Chains A and B, each alone.
Chain A
Amino acid sequence: MASQGIGGTGLTDSGPSSHSHHNHNMPYAVYRGINPASTSFINQESSGFDFGELEEAFVLQGFKISNDEAKASLYAAAAATGKPAATLEMFPSWPMRFQQTPREKSKSREESTDSGSLSSRVQPHLEPESPISRKASSDHQQNTQEQQQQLQNMASNNPRTGGLQTELAASKSNSEKKKGAASTSERVLDPKTLRRLAQNREAAKKSRIRKKAYVQQLETSRMRLSQLEQELQRASSQGIFLGGGTTAGSNISSGAAIFDMEYSRWLDDDQRHMSELRTALQAHLSDGDLRLIVDGYIAHYDEIFCLKGVAAKSDVFHLITGMWTTPAERCFLWMGGFRPSELIKMLIGQLDPLTEQQVVGIYSLQQSSQQAEDALSQGLEQLQQSLIDTIATASLHDGMHHMALALGKLSNLEGFVRQADNLRQQTLHQLHRILTVRQAARCFLVIGEYYGRLRALSSLWLSRPRETLIADDNSCQ
């Protein structure tokens, strides 16, 4: 549902953007390039913004600029060297930068590019922007040379950049205050630095081209894959997969899309339940009132297990590969969800004070869930082995028969995911039984906060600042 049909990376998030979705909507936002923290870098990369330029600026300023300062410098640069009015552009992109170029025809193209790239910003950032910016720039090489020329012409009284000159002079004093300004007013550049900067620009350009080629490759193989899937479905035996196949062309089945939507709603509910728990604990409600809230939270978890059960029938792969979760959760996924024994282990330190009987109960719960997990994992392993054998022995003439057998075996996956969810549900219920009402309230708050933090970690990871954006050792050549 969140997929725009490109790439199909694991960021299947859904739901409208709103503050309440803060935690889990971040990956969605990042994917769409709306996240302001990462917008500047993502858009620059694809819209052809030259990081050679950026490094130039840093070099000229002579100090290392951190991520935030870099953005500030871009804003400052845009403000200083761009429009005469000191309005700070929200999204500095290369057309802004190039408004100072004296070429008349390119200027009008840039205006349209600016708005074009702004509108394309709400789409996946990969393809749409580069062609647009490429067209507008007509020849990137030319611009590079132009920039270099610009640098060298700074001192000279080029009448076309005359007005700019005064701006730059003014910006020089600005740059003292805004220390990140990327003005090119001080340029005592030695040729070695210039050459290195030029090389960086070339390398950046190369990696952009490579990235484009790679994405192109991905698109074509994705199309081929969906074609193959369709052929296979047509040839396979009847009734094994009823509605679970992929719809033509899209990356996500309808069952999965529905589940993603319901899960996102469930996450909102989760936030609500947690704040209820929090206020209830702080308000020191009576045990009876607290019990109602805790029971409500258990029912909330029962709901997601029920939803997962339904989803498992239509698209078990979606669940078991964790496409419905955030990347960090996916990393620690066990059979389509969290590992109960890990959860207990995490809780053990946080549930004090516990009576001795409770401690015994918790430890034995951990042990029995561990045993059940091992049993299920071994069963799944046997399923995988059996599947491998079936596919491996498929020969030329009875290949279809073996594929049909394999499809039959795959249908057992649903059973495993359901048992795993059953295990998770039983573990939570048992926790509820062992703990007192107040302990249970704290316990569920801890659980909710833990997974909230894990989800937030995914967003933070995805939008983390990357220092070497210029292809340096990142290239494989």
Chain B
Amino acid sequence: MQYQNTRTRQRSLSSESLERVARLASGSAVVIFSSSSCCMCHAVKRLFSELGVSPTVYELDQDPNGKGMERALSKLLGNSPVIPVVFIGGELIGSMDRVMASHISGTLVPLLKKAGALWL
């Protein structure tokens, strides 16, 4: 075939995006996929800074592949709105509600320590 049909093209793009997401997610102890105009993203960033963690933030609205990555993340999480999405130690934690549930139940801090994002 001279050209890939749209479907296949999209699929390959989305798997590309997913790969990129996975690659970026395991690149740092704490990774947040965010958007510069999203206020909930601002809230989750504040939470981590209050805990003394400096996460690696990827602003998807400023990334050329941002749309694709957002779509990949929404497939991963299965709902919308998607961002912010948090990975700790390469493992998917989830959106804001999962992060907060984890913090309240006391599991967030041990995870952060395990990933090396927090000392003591």
Please tell me which one of the listed residues A372, A375, A376, A380 contacts residue B104 in the complex, with CB atoms under 8 A apart: A372
- Which residues of A are found within 8 Å of B42, using beta-carbon distances? 378-379, 382
Q: Please choose the segment from B18-26, B43-51, B68-76 that sits at the chain A interface, where 4 or more of its residues have CB less than 8 A away.
A: B43-51
Complex-state Cα separation, A380 to B104, whole angstroms: 20
Cross-chain contact A378 with B46 (CB below 8 angstroms): yes
Alpha-carbon separation in the docked complex, A371 to B44 (Å): 11
Main secondary structure of the interface of B (DSSP, over half): helix
Asked if B97 and A380 make an inter-chain contact with CB atoms under 8 angstroms apart, the answer reads no
Instruction: Indicate if A215 sits at the interface (CB-CB under 8 A).
Output: no
- Within B90-120, the residues touching A (CB, 8 Å) are 96-97, 100-101, 103-106, 108
Of all chain A residues, which has the CB nearest B38? A412
Q: Mark A377-408, 1 if CB is under 8 A from B, else 0.
A: 01110110010000000000000000000000
Check B43–A378 contact: CB distance below 8 A.
yes
Please determine whether A372 and B40 come into contact, CB atoms closer than 8 angstroms: no
Stretch among A205-213, A414-422, A463-471 lining the B interface: A414-422
Contact assessment for A375 and B50 in the assembled complex, using a CB-CB cutoff below 8 Å: yes
- Min CB gap B1→A, angstroms: 39
Known contacts A419-B97, A423-B100, A426-B105; A412 and B40 CB within 8 A of each other: yes
* A-side contacts of B78, CB under 8 Å: none
A134 within 8 A of B: no
Residues facing A in B70-88 (CB within 8 A) are: 81
- A376 surroundings in chain B (CB, below 8 A): 43
In the complex, which of the residues B37, B39, B47, B106 contacts A372, with contact meaning CB atoms closer than 8 Å? Answer: B47
Q: Please give the distance in Å from A302's CB to the nearest CB on chain B.
A: 13
Answer whether A423 and B104 are a contact pair too, CB < 8 Å, given A379-B39, A383-B39, A416-B40: yes
Q: Which 9 A-B pairs have the closest CB atoms?
A: A379-B43, A375-B47, A426-B104, A383-B39, A375-B46, A378-B46, A375-B43, A382-B42, A382-B39
Residue contacts A-B, CB under 8 angstroms, 30 given: A361-B106, A364-B106, A365-B106, A368-B103, A368-B104, A368-B106, A371-B50, A371-B51, A371-B103, A374-B46, A375-B43, A375-B47, A380-B39, A382-B42, A386-B37, A386-B39, A416-B39, A416-B40, A416-B43, A418-B97, A419-B43, A419-B100, A422-B100, A422-B101, A423-B104, A426-B100, A426-B101, A430-B104, A430-B106, A433-B105
| Residues of chain B whose beta carbon lies under 8 Å from any beta carbon of chain A | 37, 39-40, 42-44, 46-47, 50-51, 81, 96-97, 100-101, 103-106, 108
Q: A419-B100, A433-B105 are in contact. List 18 more A-B contacts (CB 8 A).
A: A361-B106, A372-B100, A372-B103, A375-B46, A375-B47, A375-B50, A378-B43, A379-B40, A382-B39, A412-B39, A418-B97, A419-B40, A419-B97, A422-B100, A422-B101, A429-B104, A429-B105, A430-B106
Interface of A toward B, CB cutoff 8 Å = 361, 364-365, 368-369, 371-372, 374-376, 378-380, 382-383, 386, 412, 415-416, 418-419, 422-423, 426-427, 429-430, 433
